[in-house]
Structure 1
């Protein structure tokens, strides 16, 4: 019955995890220890005992896989934390595929549930609402403290374009990570975003443009945040809390 249900949802279960998949799943467990206990028999095991099968999308197109990825699709991301800032390859969007049931189970399945976990973070005098779940708010406070030592970066940091907003990604059925209070957008006046130039998702030739200093980006990454400027579908104002993807960088702090 489980296999039939996964197929109906457009997911296929893995017969056995490869060493790479297993390592990625273990990094997920290590990143969210308050919720996850381990990996057993091709499933993620939650601390309260439920199991989430490690699946992969059966979709044949890039957009369809983003719309309904399996958990293994999310774990496929090889995010280059603390590496030099360079133009990503075509359709290289590490961290952009998000298995929504995972986020809903941790942060809240409704706007009201997410709001219950929000706290205020002082972002250079601007109060921002960020989730305390998984230590995201504490991490952002640490980022701000680190960045305060670099006043030359302030024009990129403020004003922030926002954190929590319960919404879908524009033009898609995907829930934005802003919905879970685990993302921040920086100053839009210094940012580049792929849709602003009129490109379609998956279109070739999206130009990579960036003004954000590498040191600023690496400061976020060392604290567990990924950057939208590392995506082919670039979003240079955007950072989201995804410590499962930045662990190697964080250990070098």
Structure 2
């Protein structure tokens, strides 16, 4: 009965919110509604509206934020500050071009769970590349993330030449802060994967620092064919960030 009442309330909310405001919904807000429809029912008065009736501001009205402000004080609109390029990114990357690295932490806490225990309630064990690797990993079942991981696994399993890169997965679910920051890592939500660190490059390792204002070069050893498989299924690659993290793949279908 509770589920039926909840469904009726959601349906009524959709009827109220969507028709009156659909023309005014920002394009990128529509992407959030489309890809996270299980949790988001619409947009009204500069706010994303969740299925439980709570709201989150889209645009905080602050313009020309510094790069550090974008990282530390973003609004939902800011998450689309840099357009992700599915084609090969121009090298060298523009300074502070980090599509997907600007994240509103409360938004993802709302989507995936506000604590490690809450996130764990929606984790599933899958076998990563059963022919080439056979490693057990834990990933989120929310928003179809687990099914995307399984499709990527099945596709990459056909390429034995990629086995060294795909073995010894460095991590999926891991509730923690990003090194050198107070920002929660996206690994906390079980929708992110780090592949074998032996073949990867990370800006903090290369500069031997945690200063996000540092002038960086660029390094990558990951075959772009692996990248394209992840991208096809809605994952951004940290190798397309100025603050590069070439082991890192993150499920962000709204950016693709």
Tell me, yes or no, if structure 1 residue 28 matches structure 2 residue 28.
Answer: no
In the alignment, which residue of structure 2 is the partner of 1:77?
Answer: 82
Shift of residue 20 of structure 1? Answer: 11
Tell me, yes or no, if structure 1 residue 96 matches structure 2 residue 101.
Answer: yes
**Gap regions ≥5 residues in structure 1:** 1-18, 247-253
Tell whether the 8 Å contact from 2:80 to 2:99 is kept in structure 1 after alignment. Answer: no
The one of 196, 203, 207 aligned to 1:187 = 196
In the alignment, which residue of structure 1 is the partner of 2:5?
Answer: none
- Larger relative helix fraction: 2
In the alignment, which residue of structure 2 is the partner of 1:141?
Answer: 150
SS in 1 for 2:231: helix
In the alignment, which residue of structure 2 is the partner of 1:161?
Answer: 170
Tell me, yes or no, if structure 1 residue 50 matches structure 2 residue 54.
Answer: yes
Report which of the two structures shows the higher radius of gyration computed on alpha carbons.
Answer: 2
In the alignment, which residue of structure 2 is the partner of 1:178?
Answer: 187
Tell whether the 8 Å contact from 2:235 to 2:253 is kept in structure 1 after alignment. Answer: yes
Work out the CA distance in 1 between the residues paired with 2:205 and 2:192.
Answer: 20
In the alignment, which residue of structure 2 is the partner of 1:210?
Answer: 220
Shift of residue 60 of structure 1? Answer: 4.7
In the alignment, which residue of structure 1 is the partner of 2:18?
Answer: none
Shift of residue 85 of structure 1? Answer: 4.3
Work out the CA distance in 2 between the residues paired with 1:202 and 1:96.
Answer: 15
SS in 2 for 1:240: strand
Q: For each residue in 1:8-37, what CA deviation from the matched residue of structure 2 results, as whole angstroms up to 9, or x when unmatched? A: xxxxxxxxxxx9981111111111111111
Per mean C-alpha deviation after superposition, the further-off stretch among 57-66 and 132-141 is 57-66
Work out the CA distance in 1 between the residues paired with 2:156 and 2:83.
Answer: 26
**Gap regions ≥5 residues in structure 2:** 1-22
Tell whether the 8 Å contact from 1:25 to 1:75 is kept in structure 2 after alignment. Answer: no
In the alignment, which residue of structure 2 is the partner of 1:201?
Answer: 212
How many residues in Structure 1 have an aligned counterpart in Structure 2?
227
Tell me, yes or no, if structure 1 residue 126 matches structure 2 residue 135.
Answer: yes
Shift of the 140–215 alpha-carbon distance from structure 1 to 2, 3 Å rule, reads: same
Tell whether the 8 Å contact from 1:77 to 1:245 is kept in structure 2 after alignment. Answer: no
Tell whether the 8 Å contact from 2:173 to 2:189 is kept in structure 1 after alignment. Answer: yes
Q: For each residue in 1:220-250, what CA deviation from the matched residue of structure 2 results, as whole angstroms up to 9, or x when unmatched? A: 011011100000000000001101011xxxx
The Cα RMSD (Å) is: 2.0
Work out the CA distance in 1 between the residues paired with 2:32 and 2:68.
Answer: 24
The alignment's TM-score, normalised by the length of structure 1, stands at 0.84
Tell whether the 8 Å contact from 1:21 to 1:76 is kept in structure 2 after alignment. Answer: no
Q: For each residue in 1:96-141, what CA deviation from the matched residue of structure 2 results, as whole angstroms up to 9, or x when unmatched? A: 0100111001100011111111110211311011111111111101
In the alignment, which residue of structure 2 is the partner of 1:114?
Answer: 119
Q: For each residue in 1:119-164, what CA deviation from the matched residue of structure 2 results, as whole angstroms up to 9, or x when unmatched? A: 1021131101111111111110110011112211111111100111
